[in-house]
């Protein structure tokens, strides 16, 4: 294990101004272990007093080698690793990977599975925004937001546990559908949540939205212009708060999103307060989608019939020889993918989550690349914080909504 | 292929000699390394493809020429189109011109491709490793880099692995 | 209630020094904020309203290693993060304990590759391993209570006498 080297000005010479070399400005390390950096992110700040002149992010402290590890596993078994990338949006990561595999091998998904996927992914979107609001409040010293948000999140995690047995890393969405059908208590649990949550959103708004301390710390800082956002590849609520109406659920609908009626909040100011307002509005729109999907939930199978890719249910294995052989082949060797590559993207709470999968004719993928939104969202932060105080940097970083598992993979 | 995409692909074919393939509804154009910056600039300015959403690479290891394909996924927001450009890159001393002049997405994404595959981007403003520690040798996502797998410890090989593991004493 | 019932009318209670010191150490053990990945979210959930860890004495999560005595390594430790972890462990004052929370900290978890340490006990000595991916907040609390039992059974005076 190598020793830590003291940081020297020489390695960042091409990124900082000349004033740092004379000692006029100071290089400060906002290290990987810090309460406000939302994970293991290291920021090297060049400070002139309290004002940030330059900010150099140093990432890689959570690099897990997921993309290489997925090349050593079959398509089914590699899905387990996708949950652990963006750990706030586990169902969404599963959905992105599973949709890419289905596109690669051309597998159909029955309508009941599509509706269940939409309900769970929208619940996950709400859970992810709740954690963001909670930690945002915590960063700006409003600790009660943290406790309220986690109380609601427990209810959503109870629904996930009801459906799959696990609170966070569920791997419930599988290629061809979902793992198994939901129990009878699912609908009641989701409806109970839908009944209480709108009032809770109003509670959060009463606490924060018009609070003069909150607005003072947020409004007018960290302005992200439309051209800069598009040039840096920023997507998601950050892009929508800068005036661009781009949401993959509306532009390239998948999993039946075209049948649901919802709006996409777009604001034009592009500052930190706008990013907060966009996310509060997304709560309400997600609730609309869940309600419509639950009302229209069709009956039917939850997994595709194509036994070349989808393992048969356990009840069939005892009675049918083909089912036994399919089960054996799929779990020992796996299914074969064509020698080609595709790219497929979904809308995660942070932006465009895309998966590039290349098969090589065998059972293991040649390359799986996860195009994670937080990577590009973080790349724009050094431009946003120039000229602001260190306290503003904390607020701006919270508003961009990064998850380090997403960035470092 | 969508109707509005056809004239754009034709422009690429005529100006840069690009070949294209359609697979599962996607259009993938092969462009040579010399033409990639001009192709990106044309697509951004003349045809309004403002968002470069993905920049990554695939290693086709046992085959060395071309060994890598660098992939650019472009999106046009107003026309709602998407197009993929693939650039074949050779195996020994792989190099490509940097696209940071056209899209700033390349600032970090090209560093990642360099870190993981060893493909150098000429004139990149900040050519350092981004995800792996600086001391590491080699480029992890190449197919000939070992996975670094540690044998699971069962009861029959318990002592063997125990002796090999570097436990912290204090 | 409690101690006053045993005081008698002189206000004196007899016990051993080890018991008192261990009891005070367990009842106010402050963890250091070392959440790395997904387990950090479950650690935050264990600290929040439904599974409150403050009732076990862990009211504050100190970000500074100089002011904490328990390091809960929650999440996967990559090769770049290893030296940072060791330096933070060295900066904590004695007595200090380490809980390896989750599968990735205990043994590398799902990730058996070039980039992750296969168990954080390659870097720091660990007292309690908590299994799970991620462990439920109740599992983490059970791990903390196991650590409390271990601390209460620590005969540090006898050990110091033996070493001499």
**DSSP-assigned letters across all residues of B47-115:** S---EEEEEEEEE-TT--TT-EEEEEEEEETTTTEEEEEEEEE-SSS-EEE--TTT-TTHHHHHHHHHH
Domain membership of residue A182 (yes or no) is yes
- My answer on whether A117 and A46 are in the same domain is no
Domain membership of residue A310 (yes or no) is no
Domain membership of residue A193 (yes or no) is yes
Peptide bond preceding C95 in cis form (omega within 30 of 0): yes
- DSSP annotation of B35: G
Instruction: Using the 3D structure, point to which of A23, A43, A58 is the last residue of a domain.
Output: A58
Domain membership of residue B151 (yes or no) is no
- The answer to whether C108 contacts B150, with C-beta atoms less than 8 Å apart, is yes
Domain count, chain B: 1
Phi, psi of C67 (to 5 degrees): -115, 20
Minimum CA–CA partner of A252 in chain B: B80
Return residues 108-137 of B near A (CB < 8 Å).
Answer: 108-109, 112, 116, 125-126, 129-133, 135
- My answer on whether A155 and A245 are in the same domain is yes
- pLDDT of A291-344, one tens digit each? 999 999 999 988 888 888 898 888 888 898 989 999 999 889 888 989 989 999
d(C-alpha A301, C-alpha A342), whole Å:
27
Domain carrying residue A37: 9-58
Phi, psi of B85 (to 5 degrees): -110, 130
pLDDT computed for residue A343 by the predictor: 92
Average predicted confidence (pLDDT) for chain C: 86
- pLDDT of A350-387, one tens digit each? 999 999 999 888 899 999 999 999 999 999 998 888 88
Q: Is C112 near chain A, with CB under 8 Å?
A: yes
- The answer to whether A404 contacts C37, with C-beta atoms less than 8 Å apart, is yes
- The answer to whether A35 contacts C33, with C-beta atoms less than 8 Å apart, is yes
- Looking at the complex, report in whole angstroms how far the Cα of residue C78 sits from the nearest Cα belonging to chain A: 6
d(C-alpha A366, C-alpha A71), whole Å:
6
- My answer on whether A152 and A246 are in the same domain is yes
- My answer on whether A54 and A151 are in the same domain is no
Domain membership of residue B150 (yes or no) is no
CA angle A255, A197, A155 (to 5 degrees): 80
pLDDT computed for residue A1 by the predictor: 65
Domain membership of residue B160 (yes or no) is no
Block residue for tokens 């996502």: B141
Peptide bond preceding B66 in cis form (omega within 30 of 0): yes
- My answer on whether A396 and A274 are in the same domain is yes
Q: Give which of C69, C72, C76, C57 is closest to C126, Cα–Cα.
A: C72
pLDDT computed for residue A93 by the predictor: 92
Domain membership of residue A289 (yes or no) is yes
- The answer to whether C79 contacts B150, with C-beta atoms less than 8 Å apart, is no
Domains of chain C: 15-159 (3.40.50.12280)
pLDDT computed for residue B20 by the predictor: 85
Question: Higher pLDDT residue, B154 or B170?
Answer: B154
Domain count, chain A: 2
Domain carrying residue B85: 5-141
- The answer to whether C111 contacts A169, with C-beta atoms less than 8 Å apart, is no
- Looking at the complex, report in whole angstroms how far the Cα of residue B118 sits from the nearest Cα belonging to chain A: 15
Q: Is A15 near chain C, with CB under 8 Å?
A: no
Domain membership of residue B87 (yes or no) is yes
- The answer to whether C118 contacts B166, with C-beta atoms less than 8 Å apart, is no
**Half-sphere exposure (CA, 13 Å, Cβ side) for A382?**
19
Question: Higher pLDDT residue, B63 or B36?
Answer: B36
- Looking at the complex, report in whole angstroms how far the Cα of residue A233 sits from the nearest Cα belonging to chain B: 6
* CB contact at 8 A, A226 and A238: no
pLDDT computed for residue A36 by the predictor: 67
Average predicted confidence (pLDDT) for chain B: 86
User: How many other β-carbons are positioned within 10 Å of the β-carbon of residue A26?
Assistant: 13
Res C91 pLDDT > 80: yes
- Considering the entire predicted model, what is its pTM? 0.92
pLDDT computed for residue A23 by the predictor: 75
d(C-alpha A357, C-alpha A375), whole Å:
19
pLDDT computed for residue A7 by the predictor: 65
Q: Is B145 near chain C, with CB under 8 Å?
A: yes
Return residues 136-155 of A near C (CB < 8 Å).
Answer: 146-147, 150-151, 153-154
- Going C51 to C53 to C55 to C56, the CA torsion angle's sign is positive
Q: Is B137 near chain C, with CB under 8 Å?
A: no
Minimum CA–CA partner of A105 in chain B: B24
Lookup: tokens for A58 = 């140093």
User: How many other β-carbons are positioned within 10 Å of the β-carbon of residue B68?
Assistant: 24
Domain membership of residue B162 (yes or no) is no
pLDDT computed for residue A119 by the predictor: 93
- My answer on whether A298 and A402 are in the same domain is yes
Res C97 pLDDT > 80: yes
- Going A382 to A388 to A393 to A395, the CA torsion angle's sign is negative
Q: Give which of A334, A350, A365, A349 is closest to A100, Cα–Cα.
A: A365
Nearest by CB to A32, which of C50, C76, C81? C81
Domain membership of residue B155 (yes or no) is no
Q: Give which of C69, C61, C40 is closest to C147, Cα–Cα.
A: C69
Domain membership of residue A80 (yes or no) is no
Domain membership of residue B57 (yes or no) is yes
CATH number of B116's domain = 3.30.460.80
Residues of C in contact with A59 (CB under 8 A): none
Residues of A in contact with C79 (CB under 8 A): 63
- The answer to whether B146 contacts C114, with C-beta atoms less than 8 Å apart, is yes
Phi, psi of A230 (to 5 degrees): -70, -35
- My answer on whether A168 and A264 are in the same domain is yes
CATH number of A179's domain = 1.10.645.10
Domain membership of residue A32 (yes or no) is yes
Domain membership of residue A37 (yes or no) is yes
- My answer on whether A151 and A40 are in the same domain is no
Residues of chain A with pLDDT under 50: none
pLDDT computed for residue B15 by the predictor: 85
Nearest by CB to C113, which of B148, B165, B170? B148
Nearest by CB to A376, which of B28, B105, B133? B105
d(C-alpha A121, C-alpha C93), whole Å:
45
- The answer to whether A81 contacts C110, with C-beta atoms less than 8 Å apart, is yes
d(C-alpha A233, C-alpha B100), whole Å:
12
Identify the residue among A150, A152, A368, A374 best suited for mutation to test binding to C, counting C beta carbons within 10 A and taking the highest: A150
d(C-alpha B21, C-alpha B28), whole Å:
5
Nearest by CB to A371, which of B54, B108, B147? B54
Average pLDDT of B38-54?
88
Low-confidence winner among B12-21, C134-143, C145-154 (lowest mean pLDDT): B12-21
- My answer on whether A297 and A159 are in the same domain is yes
Sheet of strand A365-371, all strands in order from the earlier edge strand to the far edge: A341-348, A351-359, A365-371
> Looking at this predicted complex, what is its ipTM?
0.90
- The answer to whether B140 contacts C118, with C-beta atoms less than 8 Å apart, is no
d(C-alpha C70, C-alpha C60), whole Å:
11
- The answer to whether C83 contacts A3, with C-beta atoms less than 8 Å apart, is yes
Res C158 pLDDT > 70: yes
- pLDDT of B68-81, one tens digit each? 899 999 988 888 88
User: How many other β-carbons are positioned within 10 Å of the β-carbon of residue A21?
Assistant: 12
- My answer on whether A251 and A176 are in the same domain is yes
């Amino acid at each position: 294990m190598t020793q830590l080297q003291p940081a020297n000005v020489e390695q960042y010479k091409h990124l900082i101004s000349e004033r740092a070399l004379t000692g006029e400005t100071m290089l400060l390390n906002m290290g990987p272990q810090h309460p406000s950096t939302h994970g293991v992110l290291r920021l090297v700040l060049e400070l002139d007093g309290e004002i940030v002149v330059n900010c150099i992010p140093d990432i890689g402290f959570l690099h897990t080698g997921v993309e290489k590890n997925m090349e050593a596993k079959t398509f089914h078994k590699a899905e387990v690793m996708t949950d652990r990338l963006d750990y706030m949006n586990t169902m969404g990561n599963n959905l992105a990977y599973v949709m890419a595999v289905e596109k690669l091998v051309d597998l159909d998904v029955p309508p009941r599975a599509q509706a269940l996927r939409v309900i769970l992914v929208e619940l996950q979107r709400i859970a992810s925004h709740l954690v963001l609001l909670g930690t945002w409040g915590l960063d700006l010293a409003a600790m009660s937001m943290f406790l309220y948000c986690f109380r609601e999140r427990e209810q959503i995690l109870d629904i996930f546990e009801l459906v799959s047995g696990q609170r966070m890393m569920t791997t419930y969405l599988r290629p061809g559908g979902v793992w198994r059908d939901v129990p009878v208590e699912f609908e009641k649990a989701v409806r109970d949540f839908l009944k209480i949550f709108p009032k809770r959103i109003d509670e959060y708004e009463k606490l924060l939205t018009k609070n003069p301390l909150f607005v003072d710390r947020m409004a007018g800082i960290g302005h992200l212009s439309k051209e800069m956002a598009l040039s840096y590849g920023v997507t998601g609520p950050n892009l929508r708060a800068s005036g661009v109406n781009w949401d993959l659920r509306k532009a390239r609908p998948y999993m039946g999103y075209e049948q649901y009626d919802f709006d996409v909040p777009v604001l034009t100011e592009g500052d930190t307060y706008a990013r907060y307002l966009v996310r509060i509005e997304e709560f309400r729109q997600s609730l609309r989608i869940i309600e419509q999907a639950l009302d229209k939930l069709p009956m039917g199978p939850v997994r595709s019939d194509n036994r070349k890719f989808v393992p048969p249910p356990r009840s069939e294995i005892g009675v049918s020889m083909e089912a036994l052989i399919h089960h054996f082949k799929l779990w020992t060797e796996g299914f074969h993918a064509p020698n080609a590559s595709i790219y497929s993207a979904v809308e995660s709470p942070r932006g465009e989550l895309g998966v590039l999968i290349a098969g090589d004719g065998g059972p293991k993928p040649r390359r799986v690349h996860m195009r994670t939104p937080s990577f590009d969202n973080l790349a724009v932060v050094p431009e946003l914080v120039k000229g602001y105080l260190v306290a503003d940097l904390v607020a701006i970083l919270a508003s961009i909504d990064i998850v380090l598992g997403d960035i470092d993979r | 292929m969508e109707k509005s995409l056809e004239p754009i692909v034709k422009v690429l074919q005529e100006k840069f000699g690009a070949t294209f393939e359609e697979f599962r509804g996607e259009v993938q154009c092969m462009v040579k390394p010399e033409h990639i910056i001009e192709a990106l600039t044309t697509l951004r300015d003349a045809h309004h493809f403002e968002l470069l959403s993905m920049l990554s690479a695939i290693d086709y290891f046992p085959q060395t020429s071309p060994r890598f394909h660098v992939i650019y996924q472009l999106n046009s927001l107003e026309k709602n189109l998407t197009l993929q450009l693939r650039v074949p890159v050779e195996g020994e001393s792989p190099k490509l011109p940097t696209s940071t002049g056209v899209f700033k997405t390349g600032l970090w994404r090209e560093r990642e491709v360099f870190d993981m595959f060893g493909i150098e981007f000429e004139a990149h403003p900040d050519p350092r490793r981004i995800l792996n520690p600086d001391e590491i040798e080699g480029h992890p996502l190449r197919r000939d880099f070992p996975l670094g797998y540690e044998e699971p410890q069962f009861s029959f090989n318990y002592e063997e692995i125990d002796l090999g593991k570097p436990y912290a004493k204090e | 209630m409690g101690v006053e019932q045993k005081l008698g009318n002189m206000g004196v209670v007899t016990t051993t020094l080890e018991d008192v010191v261990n009891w005070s150490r367990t009842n106010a053990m402050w963890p250091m904020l070392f959440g790395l990945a997904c387990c950090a979210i479950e650690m935050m959930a264990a600290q929040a309203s439904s599974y409150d860890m403050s009732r076990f004495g862990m009211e504050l999560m100190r970000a500074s290693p100089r002011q904490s005595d328990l390091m809960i390594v929650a999440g996967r430790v990559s090769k770049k993060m290893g030296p940072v972890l060791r330096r933070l462990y060295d900066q904590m004052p004695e007595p200090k304990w380490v809980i390896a929370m989750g599968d990735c900290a205990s043994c590398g978890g799902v990730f058996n590759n070039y980039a992750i340490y296969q168990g954080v006990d390659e870097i720091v000595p660990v007292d309690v391993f908590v299994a799970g991916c991620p462990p439920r907040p109740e599992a983490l609390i059970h791990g903390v209570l196991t650590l409390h039992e271990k601390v209460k059974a620590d005969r540090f005076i006898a050990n110091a006498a033996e070493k001499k």
